[in-house]
Structure 1
Amino acid sequence: MPSPSLILAAAIVAFAVVCYKLSGVGRRPKGYPPGPPTLPLIGNLHLMPKKNTHLQLQKWAEEYGPMYSLILGTKVMIVLSSDKAISDLLDKRSNIYSSRPDMYLSSMVGAGSRMLLMEYGDTWRKVRGLVHNSLNVKAARAYVPYQDLENKAMLLGFLETPSLFVDHIRRYTNSLTTQMVFGFRTTDINDPKLKQLYHGFEKFSEVCGSATASLLDLYPILRQLPDALLPLRRYVKELHRKESKLYVGHYLDTKKRLHEGTAKPCFCVDIVRAQEKDGLSDLLCGYTSGSMLEAGSDTTASTLIGFVQAITIFPEVVKAAQEELDRVCGNRMPDLNDLPDLPYIRGCMKESMRWMPTDIIGVPHAVIRDDEYMGYTIPKGASVMWNVWAVQNDPKRHPNPRRFDPTRWAHDSQTSVEAATNRDATKRDHFVFGAGRRLCQGMHIADRSMFLGISRLLWAFDFKQPIDPSTGQEIIPDMNDLSEGLFVQPNPFEVVITPRSEHKAECVRNEWKNMTELLDDEMQWKTVPEGLIWRDYEPLEAREKS
């Protein structure tokens, strides 16, 4: 048995080792990018704001430059705040900058199966390959009939219940996506699964941006606490239960109909085949299809809601856009063939994504090995944030950045894909769709949905500021009043939406009436449009018997 003196000596040594290790926690090592002063153990945690994080990150960019570091407890975050830095690292060195940091509670919501937060590896590559088959340039063209129909349904909604414009926009983007992914239309703005999707994604975003989630990522030892002391973890487990029921339920229902031959061709055809070939779990398949549902429904909807707010705040944009639309389209509704002749509308699209980026500070990447940039060390495992707000609101890049000005893009005819892959980072219009190997694959589809949404809404309707009955003054929405979380959008605001003329109102009704001839009694497609990539799929049940 060791003597008391030996035990004491061992305890002193162990204590000294712990103290030595702790002495480095919270400090910024020599050679790291500059950043705000740190405190022992917590680093810069005390400086992180509880809300409007994007504004503080922008201030630090102005002070410390295009790349700075934040020491957050035991973790390091590298913040990239210039187009060049984002391009040099996330694009040009994507082989080591394409993973994700450990996001404990955020990943728990999807049980590690949400594509957005997956680490770079075999599973992520397999899932991304499946998604690519559905969202590549050729496939994207096939969805135009879906977009045209859902857009006209949205216009009718604006005409009949304009105060519910947010719901009509969300149904528009959601129904397009449910057709692509699951083969059915979402026909009602009050559809429970539609409501659950947006509510659940909003709560997921809030979890990602919460202080508790950050603490558990920065001090993993706190994860050992029981649920009684971590109420947010209990909430996350319940959020996952509801979310997985929705996503896996959608997938299994579609899989069953595909086997029976009663489902419309859709993305789930590819997922079912991959599941049978590679033994993928129902959970992973459900979240693969659910991830597409999230991405296709939320980002474009939030951007269009932001656009409606922008034209309410800046009425001169409505006037200029309508002058262009009247000159080019006259009394007929715009279509995709008009895009080359509507540069101001194209500018509205680009400016919408610059002015109100939904992924306001980006979803952080992680570097998988030590690297060096601008003479500074970037350590293996560091989170790397692409500071979307700071880049898109840099007055050197965009003078008077909080003004919504489509003329910024008067000489830029690039699509989002062309801009995102332009080797000259200064030519990139916005960073909403990510960077490097994490670049969103649905940009072609989003561009078309944005163009149809913006051009036709402005062609058919006027957007005006409401009048405060108590003061007689116009009510101007607050452009800084945004939801909190990893993904944002304007908080509820008022706008007066009226048809520009009875002729245009009647045109909206007639266009929708013509569309209904393509639909059955349940308002689903009678037959799928020509060119759909899964159009000639063989019902899975028949294939198994052959």
Structure 2
Amino acid sequence: MVSLSVYLVAIATAVSALIYRLGKIGRRPAGYPPGPPTLPLIGNLHLMPKEKAHLQFQKWAEEYGPIYSLILGTQVMIVLSSDQAIKDLLDKRSAIYSSRPEMYLGNIVSGGFRVLLMEYGETWRAIRGLMHNGLNIKAARAYVPYQDLENKVMLVGFLEDPDSFANHVKRYTHSLTMQMVFGFRTTSIHDPMLQKIFNGFMKFSEVFRSPAAAILDGFPALQYLPDLLLPMRRHAKELHKTEYELYVGNYLKTKKRVLEGKVKKPCFCLDLVRAQEQQGFSDSIAGYASGSILEAGSDTTAATLIGFVQALLIFPEVVAAAQAEIDRVCGSGDGDDVRLPDLNDLPDMPYIRGCMKESMRWMPTDPLGVPHAVIRDDEYMGYKIPKGAGVMWNVWAVAHDPQRHPDPSRFDPTRWAHDQQTSAEAAGNRDATKRDHFVFGAGRRLCQGMHIADRSLFLAMARLLWAFDFRRAIDETTGEEVVPDMADLTEGIFVMPQPFRARITPRSEGRARRVREEWDKVAKLLDHDMQWKTVPEGLVWRDYEPAGL
């Protein structure tokens, strides 16, 4: 009888402890940053928006201030919604704010190999070092001819098939990155690999931001359920198979060519293969390292440029102001003294520089960023930030804060009239208010290819406006202009405008002829497969080294 009583007491104690622990799940502990009211067990999961999440996160920032918290089941998410909070934590305390929180479905799609989602540690640091060697300012000088060529191919595409402008932009950024990483070009907007990269990354992005992902991260015990009960996990596994074949397959093909001595042009995989021989990491890690650069360089820059085209239609005064500046620097009319803008013109085109900065502020491609994680307990502004919490940098809220940027929905390049910083310089500025945008991340996870993106954006914006006029499409039924909806964005961790129409026409026949002539010049450098025979020398940007050296 005594033993039964002890047994019953033990059961009652265990049940009470379980009930107590369950009762704490979903609550916001005292001392945590404020946030929306919670419900037992689920916390704020029921409030997570299924679409346009950045707008809801902006509303919460307006209500709860520069730092607030969301309780997502067992997971805590700290949201930083001011430039100073991002600087103070992700930059200044990067030693403890550079890891990643649990992202279960995202890692299933990635097989645990995607650098973007890796926890801060030895593997991540090793890959980060390889990327730095291949993308730093000195190494990136070798990629300027690639940018010049692919830009001119894009201009021809706009000339011959303007209705497919978004696809021409995607091919531009994808082909450039393919050359930087693998050493060969993407020659057509219909290239299967191009389609796979953009479609695959969009599907990954959708899975990453799905309600199922939030629930599985908030309640890790559910991760043990069979696939039959988790259709999103089955979907994630299928995506991984396709993604693995693409990324690792690309790398293995290039690795074979490198070892056979067939890769002669500068590319990231040349160094990656050598590093693999020395360090012994797997083909899977190497494949995803190269694939990560490919997806980052292809998708985000393309999305920014497509957003820029949309801005030109919504705010036509930008077209007139930009073309006036370009003509002042490069010549007006169609005479022999008129030339195509090049990278050395950037210091003389502050309005175009403003277009670059404003594009990344007005429509940031990563409106909520990718959460960091803190590896030990910390405190900020009197609030406790617990070890393991996700830390989100609320890119959209900062970019559209009217106190920071008056009339934030207006695309206004003159905001940056006196800001001559590159993206890298702005990101490293000690004064948080002097950072122009937050698209490229923060702290130790700051994008290392910022200067390459800056070049690609400048060339595209300056040359497209040099060659073409951008006008709104006409509704065939009403005869009225169609103004694109700036709020109509794709869903996911990375976004871009939903498809929209535009009327894109050459500014003159003389400029159309010049576009064809410029293409004819660079086409002579390509073989019958439209790959490089030889790469021209001397294409440099004086922001980084004197022109002509």
Do the structures match in fold with TM over 0.5?
yes
State the Cα distance separating 1:384 from its structure 2 match. Answer: 0.2
**Aligned residue runs from structure 1 range 46-85, under 5 A:** 46-85=46-85
CA–CA distance in 1 between the matches of 2:186 and 2:215? Answer: 39
1:353 corresponds, among 354, 360, 381, to 360
CA–CA distance in 2 between the matches of 1:475 and 1:512? Answer: 32
Give 3-state SS (helix, strand or coil) of 2:339's partner: coil
**Aligned residue runs from structure 1 range 120-131, under 5 A:** 120-131=120-131
CA–CA distance in 2 between the matches of 1:470 and 1:252? Answer: 52
Report how many aligned residue pairs link the two structures: 532
Q: Deviations over 1:517-539 (max 9, x none)?
A: 1111111111245489xxxxxxx
The TM-score, its normalising length taken from structure 2, stands at 0.95
Q: Deviations over 1:396-438 (max 9, x none)?
A: 0000000000000011110001100000010000000000000
Give 3-state SS (helix, strand or coil) of 2:419's partner: coil
Asked if 1:292 corresponds to 2:261, the answer is no
What is the aligned-residue identity percentage? 72
Residues 72, 214 of structure 2: 8 Å contact kept: no
RMSD: 1.2
- 1:537 maps to none
CA–CA distance in 1 between the matches of 2:529 and 2:283? Answer: 28
- 2:163 maps to 163
Residues 184, 264 of structure 1: 8 Å contact kept: no
CA–CA distance in 1 between the matches of 2:22 and 2:226? Answer: 24
Which residue type is aligned with residue 113 of structure 1?
A: F
State the Cα distance separating 1:119 from its structure 2 match. Answer: 0.3
265-274 or 233-242, which moves further after superposition?
Answer: 265-274
CA–CA distance in 1 between the matches of 2:227 and 2:2? Answer: 39
Residues 142, 531 of structure 1: 8 Å contact kept: no
Give 3-state SS (helix, strand or coil) of 1:470's partner: coil
Which residue type is aligned with residue 5 of structure 2?
A: S
- 1:133 maps to 133
State the Cα distance separating 1:185 from its structure 2 match. Answer: 0.5
CA–CA distance in 2 between the matches of 1:2 and 1:504? Answer: 98
CA–CA distance in 2 between the matches of 1:527 and 1:507? Answer: 23
State the Cα distance separating 1:230 from its structure 2 match. Answer: 0.7
**Aligned residue runs from structure 1 range 255-294, under 5 A:** 255-265=255-265, 266-294=267-295
CA–CA distance in 2 between the matches of 1:138 and 1:521? Answer: 31
Asked if 1:466 corresponds to 2:467, the answer is no
Q: Deviations over 1:376-406 (max 9, x none)?
A: 1100000000000000000000000000000
State the Cα distance separating 1:224 from its structure 2 match. Answer: 1.0
Asked if 1:32 corresponds to 2:39, the answer is no
- 2:543 maps to none
1:397 corresponds, among 404, 419, 434, to 404
Asked if 1:301 corresponds to 2:302, the answer is yes
Residues 133, 139 of structure 2: 8 Å contact kept: yes
Which residue type is aligned with residue 126 of structure 2?
A: K
CA–CA distance in 2 between the matches of 1:165 and 1:498? Answer: 11
State the Cα distance separating 1:337 from its structure 2 match. Answer: 1.0
CA–CA distance in 1 between the matches of 2:148 and 2:130? Answer: 25
Which residue type is aligned with residue 365 of structure 2?
A: T
Asked if 1:492 corresponds to 2:495, the answer is no
**Aligned residue runs from structure 1 range 216-231, under 5 A:** 216-231=216-231
- 1:475 maps to 482
Give 3-state SS (helix, strand or coil) of 2:79's partner: strand
Q: Deviations over 1:90-111 (max 9, x none)?
A: 0000000000001001011111
**Aligned residue runs from structure 1 range 187-198, under 5 A:** 187-198=187-198
- Unmatched segments (≥5 aa) in structure 1: 533-546
The TM-score, its normalising length taken from structure 1, stands at 0.96
- 1:540 maps to none
Residues 156, 516 of structure 2: 8 Å contact kept: yes
- Unmatched segments (≥5 aa) in structure 2: 332-337, 540-549
Which residue type is aligned with residue 283 of structure 2?
A: D
State the Cα distance separating 1:3 from its structure 2 match. Answer: 4.4
Q: Deviations over 1:276-307 (max 9, x none)?
A: 12221111010000001011111100000000
Q: Deviations over 1:119-165 (max 9, x none)?
A: 00000000000000111111122211110000000000000001111
**Aligned residue runs from structure 1 range 49-448, under 5 A:** 49-265=49-265, 266-330=267-331, 331-448=338-455
- 2:546 maps to none
294-303 or 3-12, which moves further after superposition?
Answer: 3-12
State the Cα distance separating 1:44 from its structure 2 match. Answer: 1.2
CA–CA distance in 2 between the matches of 1:530 and 1:111? Answer: 40
Which residue type is aligned with residue 457 of structure 1?
A: L
CA–CA distance in 1 between the matches of 2:103 and 2:409? Answer: 32
State the Cα distance separating 1:5 from its structure 2 match. Answer: 3.4
Residues 352, 461 of structure 2: 8 Å contact kept: yes
Give 3-state SS (helix, strand or coil) of 2:273's partner: helix
Which residue type is aligned with residue 150 of structure 1?
A: E
